[in-house]
Amino acid sequence: MSLGIKELILRRKTSKPVTFSDRIPDPSLVRELIETGRHAPNHHRTEPARFYLLDQERIQEVGRLFGEVVAGDGSEPALIERGKKKAREWGSSPGLLIVTCHTDPDSELARKKPAVIEENYATCSCICQNILLLFESEGISAKWSTGPVFEHPDFSQVIGMQSPQCEKVVALLFYGYSETGLPERTYSPLDSHLRDFTA
Ligand SMILES: Cc1cc2nc3c(=O)[nH]c(=O)nc-3n(C[C@H](O)[C@H](O)[C@H](O)COP(=O)(O)O)c2cc1C
């Protein structure tokens, strides 16, 4: 059954990678979803998003690096344990797509219009939500994480980042198939966040 945009938006929820089964979503399908998802509003048409679609070996490596970041200097046993848990959780995800935002701060555009940095980030965020909704439309569950694995000195090299000086990680999108039901999320009443002059 193909769902409309409203149903997809309402149905999408964050799923924890630990709930994903071992089944790996078809990488060629994921490539198609990225191709569609990158159609998003983009001031100056800078096409800022860069995508890193990882294989199992790299997913494990990224998990290992995050485990090290979480463990810190290794002086706190609780953090070491937490790091091991994170390394397992991340490393066993069947899918991981990393989205970065590319802006060259020395470019003529960025020097003339510094707002392009935020605008590029906004475009990348739109693209990430597009991709999450496209995942949802294919029955693929996902989680957007910003766990600071990018603080690890080996991170750029492990994912083969093209221009580490100009790229900022926007999202680690963990994805896979999950049967786990998710609770409804409640929102504040719209009227507390909306001033509607047409009412
Ligand atoms: C920019 C961004 C960063 C996020 N980073 C994390 C994260 O590091 N860890 C995490 O558990 N969830 C992260 N999330 C997921 C949110 O926690 C989740 O969207 C929120 O709990 C609302 O749940 P929902 O997505 O099911 O509506 C992030 C979401 C966004 C948009």
Determine whether the shortest distance from the Cβ of 125 to ligand 1 is under 6 A: no
User: pTM for this structure?
Assistant: 0.97
The pLDDT value recorded for residue 1 is 56
Provide the residue type at 90 as one letter. Answer: W
Determine whether the shortest distance from the Cβ of 10 to ligand 1 is under 6 A: no
Domain-wise residue ranges, the chain: 5-192
The pLDDT value recorded for residue 2 is 72
CA of 109 relative to ligand 1 center, distance in Å: 31
Determine whether the shortest distance from the Cβ of 180 to ligand 1 is under 6 A: no
The pLDDT value recorded for residue 95 is 98
Per-residue DSSP letters for 142-198?
Answer: EEEE--SGGGSTTHHHHHT-S-TTTEEEEEEEEEE-B-----------GGGT---TT
Report the CATH architecture of 5-192. Answer: 3-Layer(aba) Sandwich (3.40)
The pLDDT value recorded for residue 3 is 76
Per-run averaged pLDDT (10 residues), the chain, 199 residues? 87 96 98 98 98 98 98 96 98 98 97 98 98 98 98 98 98 97 93 96
Q: In 48-77, which positions are buried (b, 16+ CB within 10 angstroms) versus exposed (e)?
A: bbbbbebeeebbbbbbbbbbbbbbeeeeee
CA of 145 relative to ligand 1 center, distance in Å: 6
Q: Whose CA is nearest to atom 9 of ligand 1?
A: 145
